[in-house]
Amino acid sequence: HPLPIHFFTIVLNGEPFIRYHERVFAELPFDWHWHVVEGVAALKHDTGWSLAAGGRVLDSVHDQGRSNDGTSAYLDELAARHPDRVTIHRKPPGTFWDGKREMVNAPLPHIATPGLLWQIDADELWTAEQIRTVHAMFQADPKRTAAYYWCDYFVGPERLISTRHNYAQNPQQEWLRTWRFEPGMTWAAHEPP
């Protein structure tokens, strides 16, 4: 049987990047579903480390715990256009997620079939060809359980990092993005996944 992909994205204020993915996913020749988890993650659990450095969630970066840059409206339109392929997960207005771990776990009870679970951050720019290639690799090797990736990391206009074993290219922790998923699995952590 073809292996479906369950994409998931956690997002707060993802404009304009969040719009990129819809076009790419539309080119995929196999079953897929995109779970978008929107809202503010309280600085707890995996991201609690930021509190010691003065981290805080400013009121100016959200609207009652949700995006304030147009992302919310786009996600509502997206889900209306693709009700069988896109699910939006949100907390009630005024409520923060209990950290990113709760956010990444939110879609999992709604995934009833085995497949690939693929984290795509709002600002990541995957191509349909890349996704098809990885899908074929997992399809051909049932023992493959996860995949790490190298990436080009944009740090400014016409500036990117592509040097391996350096900042943003540490294979001990970065760019683990795809996993073979079975219903009932949950996340123990988000940082690292």
Residue 151 scores a pLDDT above 90: no
Q: Is 32 in contact with 6 (CB distance < 8 Å)?
A: yes
For residues 133-160, average pLDDT:
92
- Please provide the DSSP assignment of 84-95 as one string: TTEEEE-PPTT-
Q: Does the pLDDT of residue 1 top 70, yes or no?
A: no
d(CA 46, CA 134): 28
Enumerate domains of the chain plus CATH numbers: 5-181 (3.90.550.10)
| Average confidence score pLDDT of the chain | 94
Question: What pTM was estimated for this model as a whole?
Answer: 0.94
- Predicted local confidence at residue 85, as pLDDT: 98
Q: What is the share, in percent, of the chain residues with pLDDT greater than 90?
A: 79
Per-residue pLDDT tens digits for 159-186: 888 888 887 788 777 789 999 999 999 9
CA distance linking residue 165 with residue 106, whole number of Å: 32
pLDDT at position 70 over 70: yes
DSSP string computed for 146-158: EEE----EEEETT
Give tens-digit pLDDT for 79-129: 999 999 999 999 999 999 999 999 999 999 999 999 999 999 999 999 999
Burial of 20 (0-12, 13-18, 19+ CB in 10 A): middle
Residue 169, pLDDT score: 80
Strands (E), the chain: 5-11, 32-38, 86-89, 115-119, 146-148, 153-156, 159-161, 176-181
Cα distances (Å, whole numbers) of residue 47 to 100, 136, 143, 152, 169? 7, 34, 32, 24, 20
- The SS3 of residue 115 is strand
